[in-house]
Amino acid sequence: MLRDVTAVRYVTPLRSGGSVPAVVEADDDGTYVVKFTGSAQGTRALVAEVIVGELARALGLRFPELVLVHFDPAVAADEPHQEVRDLHTASAGVNLGMDHLPGARDLTPELAEVFDVDPVEAGRIVWLDALTANVDRTVHSSNLMVWPTLGVAPPRLWLIDHGAALVFHHRWDGADPAKAYDFRHHALGHYGPDVRAADAELAPKVTEELLRRIVAEVPDAWLTDGDFATPDAAREAYVDHLHARVRLSERWLPTDFPSRQELTAENERRAARNRRGRPAWLRQVPDLHGKPAAEQDWSVHVK
């Protein structure tokens, strides 16, 4: 069961995403990244976070603990921005928290050049994303973190942010459990993910019993958006779709991934097209975003 905690201190908002989550401290002495029910993405994003995150954990992948956070907007009364305060007011009550990973780094394309991922682990992550239709783990936005920090322990890959997964639940009448998605530009595609080995290992574990246990974690209030008569009917739909999808894995299993060299060539072609579209006076301006992932030499530390 997801634990219940209460936010007791508002640390800071996170403006890297459109949902404007926040870092809070709770009454269990833990620190969590809270995603709010009042965000523009709505509660379906939180449903996806719970189902995919708990499924990842059940399959042995590294994913931070999720908790249900009771949030009183008064805790964040000193927040200076009105639009953020409005979000907090709209989110009074139970929200979703994810255990904060202090010092974790995004797996950027630059960091991916020196951080090694085993093809078996890469295959498991790609398989999970394909099963759950998670279209938001690309080379440009990996939603993968490298943690713990260097010098503490060997860093490992952690999954985060699954709010964009389960895309089928935005249009249930067109949900096809056999549908294939384009994962050629998955963040781990160039590591040679062994998705067939992952399918053989993980598919038998995704049973109806496991799925029912996971969807039972989703609060009723997040499942009452009009598509189904009751929260339990909504839960049944998630179980039926995902269990059917597991049985049809040969229809959607992604196997065609570009190599590092092919990705580099494609990025260079894209950059060249962008430069041709820029005014002449801008074409000589350097790309200030192409900085190294870290000042440290990761090749020394990352195994």
pLDDT in tens, 5-57: 999 999 999 976 678 999 999 999 999 999 999 999 999 999 999 999 999 99
CA 142 distance to own-chain centroid: 8
Position 295 pLDDT exceeds 70: no
pLDDT for 133-150, tens place per residue?
999 999 889 999 999 865
Structure tokens belonging to residue 140: 């440009």
Using the predicted structure, report yes or no on whether residue 272 has a pLDDT greater than 90: no
pLDDT at 260 over 90: no
Q: Model confidence over 48-69: pLDDT tens digits?
A: 999 999 999 999 999 999 999 9
Q: Which of 158, 41, 160, 155 is nearest to 91 (CA)?
A: 41
Rounded percentage of the chain residues whose pLDDT exceeds 70: 88
- The confidence score (pLDDT) of residue 105 equals 93
C-alpha distance from residue 31 to each of 23, 56, 209 (Å): 7, 21, 31
- Which DSSP string corresponds to 111-151? HHTT----HHHHHHHHHHHHHTT----BSS---EEEES-TT
Residue 277's pLDDT is 67
For 14-62, the DSSP string reads --SSTT--EEEEETTS-EEEEE-TTSTT-HHHHHHHHHHHHHHHHTT--
One-letter amino acid at 286 equals: P
The DSSP bridge pattern shows strands 105-106 and 144-147 to be: antiparallel
